[in-house]
């Protein structure tokens, strides 16, 4: 009998666990241990997902558009702020505490205010996403810029580099790994941020759909949309992984020893 290699088993392990959990859940539901109106079975959730599929797609588009717009603005702002904070240490000292404080403000609390100020359109949603995504992006970039090797920077200075050249050749590429790590966090925040802002008011989007199905006690649809949001976040992270592999080819090299 041939044994499976450990790596195959490792890869299969999470899938098996998920399947097992779903089976237990389905079993509990089918046997009537948990009443259907409290917890729908996985089969019901799948049914609801396909029944409402066209509706889900159109709501997803709105939510994704908000998330993409908010995330892009956050990345741009974070880049500008981190760039200047890295360049001018006084600015860094002054702004850093403010950045940290901004992160302690609960988003759910300011969302209604944003709606009061900016109305029910896309604006308050985008602003909320920018607020949530800005912090991880700015901190990540800032730390990435300052992670550049000081000896390399000295060498660049000795070769007559300007500050901008040091940024371009050393600091920016040094920050890419941190940038992508932060981007993964920010991308998932952006989707969740869009949904939360839609709960509090709006015409379209997965958050709006969620509030509607909650009010009609359609828990199967509720679960369908929860899984959809998870799936979207997972896909985004996978996409960022691929982008990172493309953008930083030197990180994926297997170190090869060569004879002199």
Interface residues with other proteins (CB under 8 A) are 149, 151-152, 154-161, 165, 169-170, 173-174, 176, 248-250, 253, 255-260
238 SS3 class: helix
Residue reference for tokens 């509720």 = 222
Q: Which tokens in the block code for residue 57?
A: 């797609």
- Between 60 and 174, whose beta carbon lies closer to other proteins? 174
CB-CB contact of 26 with 42 (8 Å) = yes
CB of 197 to other proteins, least distance (A): 37
- Between 149 and 241, whose beta carbon lies closer to other proteins? 149
Element at 88 (helix H, strand E) = none
* Helix %, strand %, coil % of the chain (to 5): 80, 0, 20
CB-CB contact of 134 with 70 (8 Å) = no
CB of 90 to other proteins, least distance (A): 23
- Between 138 and 148, whose beta carbon lies closer to other proteins? 148
CB of 153 to other proteins, least distance (A): 10
CB of 170 to other proteins, least distance (A): 7
- Between 93 and 168, whose beta carbon lies closer to other proteins? 168
């Amino acid at each position: 009998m041939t044994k499976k290699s450990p790596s195959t088993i490792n890869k299969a392990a999470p899938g098996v666990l998920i399947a097992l959990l779903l089976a237990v859940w389905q079993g509990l539901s089918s046997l009537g241990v948990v009443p259907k109106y409290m917890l729908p079975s996985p089969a019901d959730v799948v049914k609801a997902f396909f029944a409402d599929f066209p509706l889900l797609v159109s709501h997803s588009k709105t939510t994704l558009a908000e998330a993409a717009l908010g995330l892009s603005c956050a990345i741009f702002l974070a880049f500008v702020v981190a760039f200047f904070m890295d360049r001018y240490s006084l600015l860094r000292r002054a702004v850093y505490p403010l950045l940290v404080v901004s992160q302690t403000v609960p988003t759910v609390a300011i969302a209604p205010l944003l709606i009061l100020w900016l109305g029910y359109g896309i604006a308050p949603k985008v602003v909320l996403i920018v607020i949530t995504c800005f912090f991880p992006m700015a901190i990540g970039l800032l730390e990435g810029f300052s992670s550049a090797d000081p000896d390399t920077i000295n060498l660049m200075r000795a070769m007559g580099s300007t500050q901008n050249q040091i940024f371009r050749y050393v600091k920016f590429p040094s920050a890419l790994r941190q940038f992508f790590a932060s981007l993964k966090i920010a991308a998932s925040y952006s989707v969740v941020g869009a949904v939360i802002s839609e709960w509090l008011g709006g015409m379209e989007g997965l958050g709006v759909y969620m509030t509607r199905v909650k009010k009609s006690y359609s828990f199967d649809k509720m679960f369908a949309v929860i899984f959809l949001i998870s799936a979207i976040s997972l896909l985004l992270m996978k996409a960022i992984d691929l982008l990172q592999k493309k953008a930083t080819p030197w990180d994926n090299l297997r170190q090869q020893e060569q004879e002199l």
